[in-house]
Amino acid sequence: MRPITRTISAAVIGFAVGAGAVSGGLFAYNQMNPNASAALSLSTRQVKTPYASVATATPSTLPLGPDTIANVVKRDGPAVVKIVATVPQSTSLSSSPYFNQFFGSLFGNGLPVTPQSTVQTDIGSGFFINSRGYLLTNDHVIHGATKIQVYVPGYSKAFTASRVGTDYASDLAVLKISAPKPVPYLVLGNSNQTPVGGWVVAIGNPYDLSHTVTEGVISAKGRPLTIGNRHYRNLLQTSAAINPGNSGGPLLNLAGQVVGINTAVSTQGQGIGFAIPTSTVEQILPQLIKYGHVIRPWLGVFIVTDTKNIAHQDGLATSHGVVIVSVEPNSPAENAGLRSGEIITQVNGQTVTSDTQLKNLIDKMKVGQTATITVNNQGKTLTKTVTIGQEPNGPITPPSSTPSF
């Protein structure tokens, strides 16, 4: 995993401000460009899985005009839900530097959680991905919850949801409710084809204000971000106004297709929100539905990559490879005899020069596969055999800000 070179964090709740009134701008655009409008064309295909089918679609656009966003909301709004999760809680979160940095979980309806609290209520958003009641949200919205309730437009009472699959690393979760009739659902668009500067619409439940709509643009793509023990490698940055309670809700293009799942916000500035792109969702979703989790190969070491400088400072015998800072207990690395202070120089005979290369080599392997790890231990070259394990579906706490594999 490439070190996070630019982490956005803050100690207090902030507000992301939208990009302004898009309707007027689009109306002016249409007046100047009467031929710019394109008819909506949703060519959907069904991705089959053992438990559900998820709708995806080729990119398309609605006619640009003053009612574009209103039309998107009218069509897609009924598929967006409010999620209320009951989570046992015995310690205060208000002292955490990351308290409420996710703009999803509205901890205690915005009130600080005291040490006397034994239960907290997290409020987030989600949306249906097929007519059978399967819905997508963030893992952090429902993580640790003993009860998950879903409020669906058109129904006076909440549905109790069951977990289909969760993934801590990608911060995605699939839930399911049993509705008396088919539910409306959203189509997954192509985030790779969503341009920087493209208009987007967010629908969610900020501060328990149900079905709040905001708009903005895609400000940037491929943003890395670290919040607590979660390391996001590839996020969409948006200027759409996002607040606590929006987490898990859809970020939509002007065709009404989901291009991202709203996930985090910077409290240090205005108009800086982040969403998980659908390119990531499409990789994770099939495994969540089929297995209930994501199968990832795992070694279990924490490493640093400034090997040359460390070698100079500590008198190491080589400046080549990556240094093991710590080994996760009961991990494949510990079972293979890998130790902190050793330098990984090769994996299966391939030279290791960076953390990114090490991650790529591990990611290409399968759980249960045997690998040969060459290390330098105080000037001695050693070869150790490791059986690649499965990454735990939960937080892995490193000894510092070092990446784990």
Question: Is 399 domain-assigned?
Answer: no
Catalytic residue among 140, 219, 293, 326: 140
293 is catalytic: no
> Is the same domain home to 367 and 382?
yes
Of the residues 76, 167, 171, 355, which is catalytic?
Answer: 171
**Can you state the angle between helices 22-32 and 68-76, rounded to 10 degrees?**
120
Residues 55 and 68 in one domain: yes
Shared domain for 100 and 249, answered yes or no, is yes
Residue 320 domain-assigned? yes
Is residue 247 annotated as a catalytic residue, yes or no?
yes
Polymer length in residues for the chain:
405
Domain final residue, candidates 293, 321, 336:
293
Specify whether 136 is located in the same domain as 267.
yes
Q: Are 276 and 311 contained in the same domain?
A: no
The conformational region for residue 341 under phi > 0 = left, psi -120 to 50 = alpha, else beta, is left
Q: Is 223 part of a structural domain of the chain?
A: yes
- Please, what is the end-to-end C-alpha distance for the chain in angstroms? 8
219 and 350 together in one domain:
no
Select from 275, 293, 311 the last residue of a domain: 293
Which single residue is written with the structure tokens 């996710």? 102
Annotated catalytic residue, options 60, 125, 219, 247: 247
Assess whether 3 and 152 both reside in one domain.
yes
Does residue 239 sit in the same domain as residue 313?
Answer: no
In a domain, 403, yes or no: no
The CATH number of the domain holding residue 106 is 2.40.10.120
Does any domain span residue 97? yes
According to DSSP, the β-strands at 301-304 and 258-265 are: unpaired
Pairwise CA distance, residues 193 & 58, whole Å: 10
Residue 103 belongs to what domain range?
1-293
152 and 235 part of one domain: yes
Residue 385, helix vs strand vs coil = strand
Q: Are residues 105 and 124 in the same domain?
A: yes
CB distance 183 to 232 below 8 Å = no
350-377 burial by CB neighbour count: b if 16+ within 10 A, else e? eebeebeebbebbeebeeeeebebbbbb
HSE-up of residue 238 (Cα within 13 Å, Cβ side): 33
| Position 396 in a domain | no
Tell me if 400 is assigned to some domain.
Answer: no
Judge if 147 and 220 occupy the same domain. yes
Give the predicted TM-score (pTM) of the model.
Answer: 0.73
Is residue 201 domain-shared with residue 308, that is, in the same domain? no
Query: Residue type at 84?
Result: V
Q: Is 400 a catalytic residue?
A: no
Q: Which of 274, 275, 250 is nearest to 187 (CA)?
A: 250
How is residue 343 written in tokens?
């330098």
Look at residues 240, 270, 293 and tell me which one is the last residue of a structural domain: 293
Is residue 395 in some structural domain?
no
Full pLDDT tens readout for the chain, 405 residues = 333 333 333 322 222 222 222 233 332 323 323 333 333 333 333 333 444 456 554 444 555 677 889 999 999 999 999 999 998 876 544 443 333 444 444 444 444 544 555 778 889 999 999 999 999 999 999 999 999 999 999 999 999 999 999 999 999 999 999 999 999 999 999 999 999 999 999 999 998 889 999 999 999 999 998 887 788 889 999 999 988 899 999 999 999 999 999 998 877 777 899 999 999 999 999 999 999 999 989 898 888 766 566 555 555 555 578 888 889 888 899 999 989 888 898 999 998 888 888 888 898 899 999 999 999 888 888 999 999 989 888 777 655 545 555
The total of structural domains in the chain comes to 2
CATH code, domain carrying 326: 2.30.42.10
